[in-house]
A and B are shown apart, each in its own frame.
Chain A
Amino acid sequence: MERDTLTGSRIRERRVARGIRQSDLARQAGISASYLNLIEHNRRRIGGKLLINIASALDVDPVMLSEGVGATLVAALREAAGHSPEIPAEMDRVDEFAGRFPGWAQLLSHMERRVASLERTVEALTDRMTHDPHLATSLHEVLSTVTAIRSSASILAEPGEIEPEWQARFHRNIYEDSQRLAETSRALAAYLEAEGDAESETGSPQEELDAILEAAEHRIPALEVAEGSLDQVCETLGGGASSAARSLLRDWLARYAADARALPIPTMEAAIATCGTDPAGLSAALGEDAARIMRRLAAMPDAVLPEPVGLAVCDASGVLSYRKPLPGFPMPRFGAACPLWPLYRALSRPVMLIADTVEQKGQGDAPHRAIAVALPKGPMPLGREPLFEAVMMVQRDAYATQSRVSDGAASGREILSVGVACRICSKIQCEGRREPSILSGPA
């Protein structure tokens, strides 16, 4: 759907990037400026010779304009460039690169993820070597014993006479030390096998969980039916994962199963047909809290929804514990997201639904409706403030897209400009900026 409707946005994006005036491009394409304006705001469909002419004037492949490039892929490439700022990647042509060489772009994105994962493994291992007292003591023991064996063996092997008494003593020492070494090595190996698991090889448990849920497309059909076995699903999905990741997965699945029992697909489908995907309306109609409604919306099959639903969940520290991005609304794989997301505002106004029409910089004209709420996590403690967890659903805002009439504004709705993460966001003078962007220089 997006590919067809956003051709105009891509034309406009490309034209602005090239610094060509609308009237000049219209003249080169043989159309009026007002007609090009309608095209650029996706109010007129474009194809055939006109598309080819405009593409030629913009020096771009027509397919780039008609099909665009996956926003997630572009965001991943920007992230990759962000990690190597010393390499002058042509950031202004990232869409073109991804569009012309999608396979290479995918490969680069994959390698970026792999490098990040391996770096985390190295960090984890280094940290372990440095701070694990048991490991440090065991290794010290091994090295000390090896030193004793080496010194004694050298004495025996070196030329020259050694009195029989000393000879016997060093033989005995080597024998004792070799036994000690065998025991220490065995204990060390057992310790590493028990603790090592897969977690030191695949990045953080959260990353493992993200990968598992992404592979499952964020839907678990086996848990949509009453007889679905949590253990079996956990084993099937998280079979090769570390114990920490399996623990996270199990918690996630348990909540998914509880959500599915409370709001089965047929119930949701009927309610969506009446109320749409507005979580406030659905919450009132179904008698469930808005966070559960949002989680269920994100798990619905495509056929049930008018537009796909993305979802982000964070804990009270702002760390994302779940992410289901959309093509026009990528989410960072590592680190913190954009602080302007309604998700974070919800944490400062708990229990209240925060709604905004947002648009990510660099994603073309793709306004999204973002609705967030922060609710207590777990049971309410007596005499203490509860811990909150915030949930934000995002969905393409068809209304804002259709009714947009000029830059940055749509009739009846203000569009809030947000980003994915500071490092790859080009927004200038942003009050939420934590660190300089590789796209816009120091803000």
Chain B
Amino acid sequence: MAGNVLVIEDEPNIIEAISFVLKRAGWNVETHSTGSTAAEAVRAKAPDVLILDVMLPGRSGYDILRELREDPSTSNLPVLMLTARGQTRDRELAEKAGVNRYMTKPFSNAEMLEAVRELSNA
């Protein structure tokens, strides 16, 4: 088993595709789709890598990430952020919040898988 990945994303078909690709590569995948309860889910599931969407119902990915970075138990958690917003200032916002990798939609499966591998080894 390569490790545990938590996918926080509100688009069911993206969740399904990402989960399939990661599971096929040997990862244990859990999912969550609500922004307002995302931070609690991360703490409860304690994943090795977090895949986090930016635009989530209830709370933005930036806010969730900021909270995780302030919590000692999740401050070093490797986070891959997925977003449809590719503008420079969005990237800067993500970096400021403490993201490890930032990927704009639509990304390729191979790209995503490679990023998760790299993050888990870092």
Query: Which chain A residues have a beta carbon within 8 Å of chain B's beta carbons?
Result: 139-140, 143-152, 154-155, 158, 166, 169-170, 173, 176-177
Query: Which chain B residues have a beta carbon within 8 Å of chain A's beta carbons?
Result: 11, 13-14, 16-18, 20-21, 55, 82, 84-85, 105-110
| 6 contacting pairs across A/B (C-beta < 8 A) | A140-B84, A140-B85, A144-B105, A147-B106, A148-B13, A154-B17
**A176-B13 contact, Cβ under 8 Å, with A139-B84, A155-B20:** yes
Tell me whether A140 and B14 are in contact (CB under 8 A): no
Contact residues in B for A170 (Cβ distance below 8 Å): 16-17, 20
Contact residues in A for B82 (Cβ distance below 8 Å): 147
CA–CA, A147 and B108, complex, Å: 8
CA–CA, A155 and B108, complex, Å: 10
Contact residues in B for A143 (Cβ distance below 8 Å): 84, 105-106
Q: How far is the CB of A133 from chain B (nearest CB, A)?
A: 12
Q: How far is the CB of A127 from chain B (nearest CB, A)?
A: 13
Contact count A vs B, C-beta below 8 Å: 58
Tell me whether A148 and B11 are in contact (CB under 8 A): yes
Contact residues in B for A146 (Cβ distance below 8 Å): 105-106
CA–CA, A155 and B112, complex, Å: 13
CA–CA, A143 and B84, complex, Å: 6
**A173-B16 contact, Cβ under 8 Å, with A140-B55, A143-B84:** yes
CA–CA, A361 and B106, complex, Å: 58
**A150-B108 contact, Cβ under 8 Å, with A140-B85, A144-B84, A166-B20:** yes
- Please give me the residue from chain A that is nearest to B103 by CB atom: A147
Tell me whether B107 and A155 are in contact (CB under 8 A): no
Tell me whether B16 and A147 are in contact (CB under 8 A): no
Tell me whether A151 and B11 are in contact (CB under 8 A): no
Q: Which listed residue, A139, A166, A177, touches B13 by the CB 8 Å rule? A: A177
- Please give me the residue from chain A that is nearest to B14 by CB atom: A148
Contact residues in A for B105 (Cβ distance below 8 Å): 143-144, 146-147
CA–CA, A170 and B109, complex, Å: 14
- Please give me the residue from chain B that is nearest to A174 by CB atom: B13
- Please give me the residue from chain B that is nearest to A141 by CB atom: B84
Contact residues in A for B106 (Cβ distance below 8 Å): 143, 146-147, 149-151
Q: Which listed residue, A155, A176, A177, touches B109 by the CB 8 Å rule? A: A155
CA–CA, A166 and B105, complex, Å: 23
Tell me whether A151 and B84 are in contact (CB under 8 A): no
* Secondary structure of the A contact surface, majority rule: helix
Q: How far is the CB of B55 from chain A (nearest CB, A)?
A: 6
CA–CA, A154 and B24, complex, Å: 13
Q: How far is the CB of B51 from chain A (nearest CB, A)?
A: 12
Q: How far is the CB of A188 from chain B (nearest CB, A)?
A: 14
6 additional A-B pairs beyond A150-B106, A151-B18, A158-B109, beta carbons within 8 Å, are A144-B105, A149-B106, A150-B108, A151-B17, A154-B109, A173-B13
> Of B55, B82, B85, B105, which is in contact with the most chain A CB atoms at under 10 Å from its CB?
B105
Tell me whether A144 and B17 are in contact (CB under 8 A): no
CA–CA, A147 and B11, complex, Å: 10
Q: How far is the CB of B78 from chain A (nearest CB, A)?
A: 21
Tell me whether A155 and B84 are in contact (CB under 8 A): no
Contact residues in A for B84 (Cβ distance below 8 Å): 139-140, 143-144, 147
Q: How far is the CB of A171 from chain B (nearest CB, A)?
A: 12
Tell me whether A148 and B17 are in contact (CB under 8 A): yes
Tell me whether A151 and B21 are in contact (CB under 8 A): yes
Q: How far is the CB of B119 from chain A (nearest CB, A)?
A: 18
Tell me whether B108 and A154 are in contact (CB under 8 A): yes
CA–CA, A91 and B42, complex, Å: 65
Q: How far is the CB of B38 from chain A (nearest CB, A)?
A: 17
Tell me whether B55 and A155 are in contact (CB under 8 A): no
- Please give me the residue from chain B that is nearest to A146 by CB atom: B106
CA–CA, A169 and B17, complex, Å: 10
CA–CA, A143 and B18, complex, Å: 16
Q: How far is the CB of A148 from chain B (nearest CB, A)?
A: 4
Q: How far is the CB of A239 from chain B (nearest CB, A)?
A: 37
> Which 6 A-B residue pairings sit nearest by Cβ, starting from the closest?
A151-B17, A143-B84, A148-B13, A147-B106, A147-B105, A140-B84
Contact residues in B for A166 (Cβ distance below 8 Å): 20
CA–CA, A152 and B15, complex, Å: 10
> Of A140, A147, A149, which is in contact with the most chain B CB atoms at under 10 Å from its CB?
A147
Tell me whether B21 and A144 are in contact (CB under 8 A): no
Contact residues in B for A173 (Cβ distance below 8 Å): 13, 16-17
Contact residues in B for A140 (Cβ distance below 8 Å): 55, 84-85
Tell me whether A147 and B107 are in contact (CB under 8 A): yes
Tell me whether A144 and B11 are in contact (CB under 8 A): yes
CA–CA, A151 and B18, complex, Å: 7
Q: How far is the CB of A260 from chain B (nearest CB, A)?
A: 51
> Of A145, A148, A176, which is in contact with the most chain B CB atoms at under 10 Å from its CB?
A148
